[in-house]
Chains A and B, each alone.
Chain A
Amino acid sequence: MKDATPEQAMDLSQLEKPVLELEAQIRAMEMDPSQSKEREKLEKKLEKLKAELFTNLTDWQRAQLARHPKRPYTLDYLERICERFEELHGDRRFGDDAAIVAGMGWIEGNPVMVIGQQKGRDTKQKILRNFGMPKPEGYRKALRLMKLAEKFQRPVLCLIDTPGAYPGVDAEERGQAEAIARNLLEMAKLEVPVVAVVLGEGGSGGALALGVADRVLMMENAIYSVISPEGCASILWKDASQAPKAAAALKLTAPHLLELGIIDGIVKEPLGGAHSNFDAAAAALKEAVVEAFSELSELSAEQLVEERYQKFARMGSVG
């Protein structure tokens, strides 16, 4: 990706502004048939504008898209990619964490265990979902259900969208680090296919705890990083406002991570970002997920585990 020039470093809200204005203008014309010609012209203009604005996004703008308040979340995708989804609750240890939703899904008739981090849309939902930050009971629920999938020979789909694992007193008391660590170990030996997709934010260990998969994909405007741009900026530049610079330095967007061999593929989003068209984003996700599972379909359990090991063994830069 390019370095952030002042113009490109512009905030996403500024970037989106002309698009939103044009969209409002078009909507206003919809009532009046006499303006249909003019409307068509504006629609063409909108497409062109979107193509200009969204094809050369900076890493920082992508990071903002990844965290866009209107971005589709796990449940938005699940209702579009599963014919049926039955949520299951609890870690059988302590609690049920609403920041992770999991359950039995059917995708094109195939039973799949689906596990995803869930953010909230309004204030009440945000609090219920703890802003998408799971606690140990969330990771332990995820693991319990992965083991259930293994027992019944069902593939596992993990959808990642979290700012990070919850940093709190109670989470530490119950062993946040152990819960994440355990998932890494158990996912490495899971004897069924695992596909993980970073939907929006892949926040560090809290994301990786669902991310040890045979195929790891990212939505086009998702990010996956060891630390947030703001966190990085305040540590290294002692200034959180340097986040755009940090975003570029961390190489946290899908194209960079594909190049680094950390992910296996990118799921194309509709022009304007996933939030501009949930159905189109979900259709693209579904196609990619079905394709990934199909590729893994004929591998034995031993092959899956060995290839998964080799895949992660290759990661790292040693001179």
Chain B
Amino acid sequence: MSWFVKKRQQKTAVEEKTVRVPEGLWIKCEACKELIYRKELVNTHNVCPKCGYHFRIGVEERLENLMDEGWTTLFSELRSGDPLGFVSTKSYKDQLKKLEQAGETEDAVVVVEGTLSGQPVVTAVMNFDFLAASMGSVVGEKLRLGAERALEKQCPYLIVSCSGGARMQEGTLSLMQMAKVSAALAKLDKAGLPYLSILTDPTTGGVSASYAMLGDLNIAEPKALIGFAGPRVIEQTIKQSLPEGFQRSEFLQTHGMVDKVVTRDHLKDFIAACLAWMTPSPRD
């Protein structure tokens, strides 16, 4: 084999994708407080045209943004148990049952296999609408199985993170999901396969302190909240208010934790370039 050949290759093109827009004619931007015509967001991948704020998007839309058409969802059959019989103001079991009845059958992460700009990948996307994308046993197990699937297919693995952290309702078992997923990523790393971590708003707690920070590349959407301790916890502890931009993507890039802040409209092209750079191409 050779390390370097004198030959030109074509760059991959960015694909056009349609974006779903939520109901209602106008929406107020959380960042600049301006009113935005919802239809305008179609063309901007749900990015505020006034200030560039990246609205949180659902799993389907994320997959449509990143993947080529025709992906397959994996491990949908997994369901959360209630190992501690956890009850607070409501019982965890009832909470789960209600979510299932509402059609939320994927827990807080969807894992799919398919292609991204023609390159086979396994992609996991966390779902903030499901208990703030907290990480319990199902999330951990699906992410582990996703890594195993990438290993089997010898293809790259992508995790799009957003999470409030570990799922309290599963106690220390949820803490162990950090170790479980990291161990699966260690296998991928050893096999020389790419793992890209895409950090979106917000990625905090145990998710940030495990797989979200372990990418061969950590790629963040602009201004996403990323950190171990939440800003409110920090403020209460140090009894001071935090500076503007603290724990945001750009702050993490400045502090060496994020390889690159990439806007949503460039994300697919950037990931495709990274994967092309990392994946062995057939050599002459």
Contacts and interface: CB of A to CB of B under 8 A. Distances in A.
Nearest to A105: B277
Nearest to A296: B3
Contacts of B90: none
Contact of B254 (A95, A294, A297, A299): A95
B256 A294 contact: no
Interface residues of B, number: 31
A104 B3 contact: no
A221 to B, nearest CB: 27
Interface stretch (A4-12, A65-73, A148-156): A148-156
A272 interface: no
Nearest to B192: A151
Contact of A96 (B255, B273, B280): B255
Nearest to B259: A88
B4 A152 contact: no
A108 interface: yes
Contacts of B2: 297-298
Nearest to A97: B256
B7 A109 contact: yes
B277 A108 contact: no
Contacts of A193: 3-4
Contacts of B257: 90, 92
A89 B276 contact: no
Contacts of A84: 11, 273
Contacts of B274: 86, 104
B260 A86 contact: yes
Given A84-B11, A108-B8, A90 B259 contact: yes
Given A148-B216, A153-B280, A297-B4, A89 B273 contact: no
B55 interface: no
Given A87-B260, A90-B258, A296 B4 contact: yes
B253 interface: yes
Interface string B141-183: 0000000000000000000000000000000000000000000
Nearest to A137: B256
A104 B273 contact: yes
Interface string B240-284: 000000000000011111111000000000100110111110000
A89 B4 CA distance: 25
B165 to A, nearest CB: 21
A119 interface: no
A96 B4 contact: no
Interface in A89-138: 89-96, 104, 106, 108-112, 137
A44 B2 CA distance: 46
A152 B194 contact: yes
Given A84-B273, A111-B276, A155 B3 contact: yes
A154 B192 CA distance: 12
30 contacts: A84-B11, A86-B273, A86-B277, A90-B253, A90-B257, A91-B256, A92-B213, A93-B256, A94-B256, A95-B254, A95-B255, A96-B255, A96-B256, A104-B273, A106-B277, A109-B5, A109-B7, A111-B276, A111-B278, A148-B216, A148-B217, A151-B192, A151-B216, A152-B278, A153-B280, A154-B3, A193-B3, A193-B4, A296-B3, A297-B2
Given A110-B6, A155-B3, 15 more contacts: A88-B217, A88-B260, A89-B258, A90-B256, A92-B257, A95-B256, A104-B273, A109-B9, A148-B216, A148-B217, A152-B277, A153-B192, A154-B277, A293-B4, A297-B2
Interface of A: 83-84, 86-96, 104, 106, 108-112, 137, 141, 148, 151-155, 192-193, 290, 293-294, 296-299
**A-B interface, 6 closest residue pairs, ranked by CB to CB distance from nearest:** A90-B256, A109-B9, A293-B4, A297-B2, A111-B277, A88-B259
